[in-house]
Every structure is written in structure tokens, then in C-alpha cells.
């Protein structure tokens, strides 16, 4: 015995995307997603009352197979891809695919290009200004010339750092779906990163306290990227989390449930809660003047986030203004 054919309603409800059947301007069937989107019972209604969108209505009224992008159904800025397909008789199948994620990704891409151009343009404008003065005035005295030369060099180096960070970011992104293969001792990564940071810590009068566990399980990772991650976090703690005379930065590596965690804690000024969700955005800085002064490009935590994602890890940043910041990265073992 064959089982009964599923009903049309069951079939439409199986689609997550808003899908309906329209005939002669009337919605004859609509799935649950349409009801969720339009907020009322749609079946049996005049289409013009169900969807008050001129382009969508016109496309459906044409009665031909077509695909259009429409914005504003179920919310002023919501973008949709609408598919209209003729069925038997005069009926049409209308399906809406949500394009919000695509639109957000596109916005991020254009913002990124605008931000990167701005970040490179600023030092470039300074370089041109100083170089022009030197080129136009042959009488510039030695002291001034040396000073201008130093500014030009500093700004050019800044541009180089931005370009190198951007290249690093795109390399990590390109490798996103290629799981890292080396067996890495995160404790060793922590120790080397502390070594790298010693000179900066001394300059800033800051003590680094290491708390690296023994016999830690190896993790599957990319040694170079994990070192870059640890360098970034410790660098941030020293640059932004170290103001008072007797400040200290703690670098811990230990097992947390079934993972290995790298924890970098400082007792600095902390970060106000409204900034926390945006810290891993490219070029986002809490205090751009201060970050710029210390040579920051605002790309460090974006790089950290991508490295963590490639390693299937987690990243948490907790901060209490006036007390300090703790950044924890956990990575799966094995």
C-alpha cells in the first residue's frame, strides 16, 4: 500500500522561506513563514493587501517566470530575492529568499575598502606634505630636515605595518577552511610571546607574570598564527592596560574543561562595555589617538578573531572599567 500524498499545505510549510501560491490576484495558499513575515493570515486575501510593495505586485501581476530583488517587505530595509514561477493553470508560485546576510556582507566589504583607504591616506598625506616642503625649500636647516625625515620615515613605516597586517589578515582568511595540522604546545607559544614582549614591558615599567601549566595536552594548530595571536594580546595588555606605576600583566596557559586556554589579564583602565562587541572589527579602536601614538593599526584583534575561527576556538573579552581586562582564547585539543 502506498502512503497518501502529502497535502499542499504540508509541502509549503516544509519550506523555511516565505512561499505562497497566488491566483488571479488572490493568495490561495501561504506557508507559516509568510504568516510570520506578514503577521496575519494571508491565504484568501487580495495580494495587494498582503504585500504592499509596488515592484513585487507588478512582477507577480505579469504572470511570467521572473526573479527580482525587492527591498521593504516585512520591514523598511529588508532585502529579498523574489522568485515567481507559473504553475499549472493561472496559478503562480511566489518565493522570497532573505538577502539580509548578503547585504550585510556587501556593506562590510564597502566599509572595509573605505576604512582601509582612509587609514592609508592619512599617513600618505603627511608624507607628501613634509616631502613637498623639503623639495621646495632648499634652505631648510639641518635640524628641521632631520626632523622632517624622521616624520616621513615614521609615517611610511606605519603604512607598511597596515599593509602587512592586511596581507596577514587576508592570508588567514584564505586558509579559513583548511584546518591547521601541526601539534602545538600552547605553553611554548606563551613563553615565546612573553619573551618577545620583555623589552616593551621594561620600557613601560610593567611586570609580566607567567602562569603556564605543566604537561599541557598538545593542540592541533598553526604555530606561527598562534604566536601572532599571543603577541597581539600581550602587546595590547602592555600598551593599553598598563598605566599605573605598579601594573602587571598575567599570561596564563591552562586546561579549561576539555580545552587549552590562553588567558591574558591586565589591571589597566579597562574598556567601556559599549566598545566590547566592536573590538574585533577591522580598524576599530577605542581611543584612536592613543592607539595611533603607540603604533596600533586597529587590526590586531581582527587578526586574533580570524586565527581563533580557523582553529575552531573561542574568544572572550571581559573588561571592567577601572579594574582591567581579561582576554581568553580556548582551543580544542588533539
Ligand X SMILES: Nc1ncnc2c1ncn2[C@@H]1O[C@H](COP(=O)(O)OP(=O)(O)OP(=O)(O)O)[C@@H](O)[C@H]1O
Minimum CB separation of residue 231 from ligand X in Å reads 9
- Assess 298 for contact with Mg ion (CB under 5 A): no
| Backbone CA torsion sign across 24, 29, 33, 35 | positive
With CB atoms as reference, the residue minimizing the distance to Mg ion is: 300
Q: Using CB under 6 A, which of 18, 79, 123, 298 touches ligand X?
A: 298
Query: 251, 231 in Cβ contact below 8 A?
Result: no
- Assess 300 for contact with Mg ion (CB under 5 A): yes
- Assess 236 for contact with Mg ion (CB under 5 A): yes
- Assess 234 for contact with ligand X (CB under 6 A): no
Nearer to Mg ion, 31 or 236 (CB): 236
- Assess 285 for contact with ligand X (CB under 6 A): yes
Q: Using CB under 6 A, which of 240, 305, 313, 315 touches ligand X?
A: 240
Q: Using CB under 6 A, which of 271, 315, 329, 331 touches ligand X?
A: 271
* 3-state SS class at 70: strand
- Assess 232 for contact with ligand X (CB under 6 A): yes
Minimum CB separation of residue 19 from ligand X in Å reads 43
| Backbone CA torsion sign across 99, 105, 109, 115 | positive
Residues sharing a CB contact under 8 Å with residue 8, sequence separation 6 or more, in sequence order: 21, 29
The binding track of 159-188 with respect to ligand X, each residue x by CB under 6 A or -, is ------x-----------------------
Nearer to ligand X, 120 or 286 (CB): 286
Q: Interacting stretch for ligand X, rule CB under 6 A, among 29-37, 57-65, 89-97, 229-237? A: 229-237
DSSP run (H or E) holding 317: strand 314-320
- Assess 252 for contact with ligand X (CB under 6 A): no
Distances (CA, A) of 173 to 178, 189, 225, 238, 304: 10, 21, 12, 27, 11
Give the end-to-end CA distance of the chain in Å, rounded to a whole number.
Answer: 51
Minimum CB separation of residue 280 from ligand X in Å reads 7
Report the DSSP beta bridge partners of residue 324. Answer: 320
Q: What is the DSSP string of 235-293?
A: HHHHHHS--STT-EEEEEEEEETTEEEEEEEE-SS---GGGGGGTTSTT--SSHHHHHH
Name the residues that contact Mg ion, by CB under 5 A: 236, 300
Amino acid at each position: 500500500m502506498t502512503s497518501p500524498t502529502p497535502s499542499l499545505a504540508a509541502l509549503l510549510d516544509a519550506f523555511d522561506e516565505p512561499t505562497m501560491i497566488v491566483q488571479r490576484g488572490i493568495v490561495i495558499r501561504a506557508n507559516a513563514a509568510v504568516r510570520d513575515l506578514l503577521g496575519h493570515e494571508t491565504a484568501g486575501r487580495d495580494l495587494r493587501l498582503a504585500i504592499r510593495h509596488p515592484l513585487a505586485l507588478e512582477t507577480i501581476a505579469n504572470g511570467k517566470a521572473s526573479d527580482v530583488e525587492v527591498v521593504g517587505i516585512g520591514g523598511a530595509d529588508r532585502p529579498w530575492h523574489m522568485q515567481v514561477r507559473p504553475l499549472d493553470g493561472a496559478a503562480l508560485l511566489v518565493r522570497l529568499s532573505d538577502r539580509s546576510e548578503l547585504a550585510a556582507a556587501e556593506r562590510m566589504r564597502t566599509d572595509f575598502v573605505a576604512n582601509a583607504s582612509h587609514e592609508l591616506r592619512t599617513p600618505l598625506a603627511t608624507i607628501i606634505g613634509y616631502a613637498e616642503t623639503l623639495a621646495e625649500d632648499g634652505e631648510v636647516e639641518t635640524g628641521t630636515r632631520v626632523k622632517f625625515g624622521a616624520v616621513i620615515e615614521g609615517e611610511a613605516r606605519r603604512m607598511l605595518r597596515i599593509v602587512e597586517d592586511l596581507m596577514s589578515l587576508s592570508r588567514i582568511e584564505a586558509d579559513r577552511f583548511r584546518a591547521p595540522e601541526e601539534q602545538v604546545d600552547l605553553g611554548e607559544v606563551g613563553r615565546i610571546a612573553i619573551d618577545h614582549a620583555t623589552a616593551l614591558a621594561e620600557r613601560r615599567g610593567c611586570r609580566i607574570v607567567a602562569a603556564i601549566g605543566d604537561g599541557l595536552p598538545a593542540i592541533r594548530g598553526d604555530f606561527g598564527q598562534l604566536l601572532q595571536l599571543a603577541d597581539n594580546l600581550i602587546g595590547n595588555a602592555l600598551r593599553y592596560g598598563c598605566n599605573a606605576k605598579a601594573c602587571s600583566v598575567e599570561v596564563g596557559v591552562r586546561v579549561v574543561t576539555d580545552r587549552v586556554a590562553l588567558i591574558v589579564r591586565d589591571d589597566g583602565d579597562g574598556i567601556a562595555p559599549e566598545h566590547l562587541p566592536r573590538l574585533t572589527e577591522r580598524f576599530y579602536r577605542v581611543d584612536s589617538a592613543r592607539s595611533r601614538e603607540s603604533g596600533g593599526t586597529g587590526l590586531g584583534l581582527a587578526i586574533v578573531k580570524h586565527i581563533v575561527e580557523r582553529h575552531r576556538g573561542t574568544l572572550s573579552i571581559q573588561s571592567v572599567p577601572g579594574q582591567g581586562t581579561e582576554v581568553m582564547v580556548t582551543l580544542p585539543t588533539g
